[in-house]
A and B are shown apart, each in its own frame.
Chain A
Amino acid sequence: MNPVLLKIIVLLGILIVVLTLASGLIWLERRLLALWQDRYGPNRVGPFGLLQVLADMIKIFFKEDWIPPFADKPVFVLAPAIIVITVLLTFAVIPFTPLVQIADTNIALLFFLGMSSLGVYSVVLGGWASNNKYSLLGGMRAASQMLSYEVFMGLSMMGTVMLAGSFSLRSIVEAQRHMWFVVPQFLGFVLFLIAGIAETRRLPFDLPEAESELVAGFHSEYSGMKFGMFFVGEYLGVILISVLLSVLYFGGWQGPFLPPIVWIVLKTLFFICFFILLRAAMPRPRFDQLMSWGWKWMLPLSLLNLAVTGAVVLAMRR
């Protein structure tokens, strides 16, 4: 087949699957939370309540899309788009299977870091443009939280880069043929997992939108589809971090018996469920605890991981 046509099909396929999965996660999250909290969750619309998402979508499209008169209009409109665009762009460098990948660059991991740091703008600008004190507080929390956790997110991934000898995600997956990197890089895996949760602003790191103290934080003023964009962006982020966890530490598409696409989907779904379990199980920390935890524990630990991995890799090469 024409390679350009193939690429376009892959691109559209990834886009459709990822967006559908992101909206499907709303249903999955509500059902799983209900399961762990000993109740039913949405079970009325369609089989197992699956069509609940569709009903929600129709509702959110018909909601009034209100821009507050005191808001900074252009920035207010721009903010929710940024998060969706940056997260979707990152999917371009993810190797789902040997065939399903849009772009294999030798800076894939850096591209992910760059896009995730641009994603911060969405929340920060949303909070600022709303011109509302609660939103501003949420935006400032988001900025400081995500900046601090991004620092060791990059550092924690460097262990896998050293072992694989490349920033390319495909090479990283192929380097795990004999052993998943979660074994030699267990500390790195834990650090990246924590940083990833902080990056997606999920509980226990959802302080920017802490509803008990900041109303809804940075998206207090958002309604209709703009609010929906923030929501979809958050779920896309969850999928992205889950895929990256399986690619970086759990061998990506590799696994016995089943075809590659099944393996990557299974691994990703496992981490998505873990994200939802965290939300069901964890309380929200205080903001200063979150920050000091990040700088006083996570950063030194990731530096230690980096130094030890470097030393071991160097010693093995000798």
Chain B
Amino acid sequence: MEAIFYIAAIVAVLATVLTVTRLNPVHALLYLTVSLLAVAVVFYTLGAPFMAALEVVIYAGAIMVLFVFVVMLLNLGRHTVEIERSWLSPGAFVGPAILAAILVGEVSYLLARSGTLTPPVAEVSPHQVALSLYGPYLLGVELASFLLLGALVGAYHVGSRRAQGRTTVGSRSDRTGLASGGDLVRTGADRPSGAA
């Protein structure tokens, strides 16, 4: 189990590094997915199978698919790769590298001080997760559902206004050839003709 933990942890770190350094957005997202899957394995080896399953179902399976979907929708092409290349100058890594080095130092100090490297393994069943979610942490669950309801209402509001706007202002945006959505779409507009 310990070996699996370390292998998964190394995979997670490598995949995350590759996520940052990939120039093609879809490749970066794929590495991020791999990283999430590796984290799921880490959760499993630490005795939290329920968390591991949720990590796969929600993060890798739903949220990342949405990310890939949006990236596909924006049709980010060669142009974006060039922009990414200009952003990923070695200088940009200095700040994050220093901060990450501090964290690595802290983690290795903690691990060295505690002596043993084996994580405590006591399997937490879905039943126990449910009992603590709806027992001592009920307030947190309620707050999260508040937040989600707010997001839902907000999404509905944005969606309905967009539909209304299309009937009244749509002709204008058609004439100027500007897609709604501002910056997000502009970065992907590397089509040969130039719409405007």
Contact = CB atoms under 8 A, between A and B. Distances in A.
A110 B57 contact: yes
A156 to B, nearest CB: 15
The interface size bin for chain B is: 20 to 34
Interface string B133-154: 0000000000000000000000
Classify chain A: how many residues form its interface, as a range. 20 to 34
A120 B64 CA distance: 11
Given A113-B57, A114-B56, A143 B65 contact: yes
A128 B72 contact: yes
Interface stretch (B10-18, B47-55, B160-168, B175-183): B47-55
A95 interface: no
Contacts of B53: 107, 110-111, 113-114
Contact of B66 (A111, A139, A147): A147
A113 B72 CA distance: 24
A146 to B, nearest CB: 8
Interface string A70-92: 00101100000000000000000
B194 to A, nearest CB: 19
A111 B126 CA distance: 13
B148 to A, nearest CB: 13
Contacts of B60: 114, 117-118
A140 B73 contact: yes
* Residue among B26, B57, B66, B68 facing the most chain A CB atoms (10 A cut-off): B57
Contact of A75 (B27, B49, B57, B61): B27
B68 A114 contact: no
B104 interface: no
A150 B52 CA distance: 18
B19 interface: no
Contacts of A107: 49-50, 52-53, 126
A305 B30 CA distance: 36
A124 interface: yes
A143 B61 contact: no
A128 B76 CA distance: 11
B70 to A, nearest CB: 10
A72 B72 CA distance: 13
A222 interface: no
Interface string A108-122: 001101111110110
Given A110-B50, A114-B53, A167 B68 contact: no
B193 to A, nearest CB: 15
Interface string A276-302: 000000000000000000000000000
Interface string B22-44: 00101100100100000000000
A139 B126 contact: no
A124 B72 contact: yes
Interface in B96-128: 125-126
Contact of A114 (B24, B61, B69, B125): B61
B126 A120 contact: no
A127 to B, nearest CB: 8
B62 interface: yes
Interface in A164-211: 167
B68 to A, nearest CB: 6
Given A144-B69, A167-B126, 17 more contacts: A74-B27, A110-B54, A111-B53, A113-B61, A114-B53, A114-B60, A114-B61, A117-B61, A118-B60, A124-B72, A125-B30, A127-B72, A128-B26, A128-B72, A140-B69, A147-B65, A154-B57
10 contacts: A106-B49, A107-B126, A114-B56, A114-B61, A117-B61, A118-B60, A121-B65, A124-B65, A128-B72, A140-B73
Nearest 3 interchain pairs by C-beta:
A117-B61, A114-B56, A110-B53
Interface of B: 24, 26-27, 30, 33, 49-50, 52-54, 56-57, 60-62, 65-66, 68-69, 72-73, 125-126
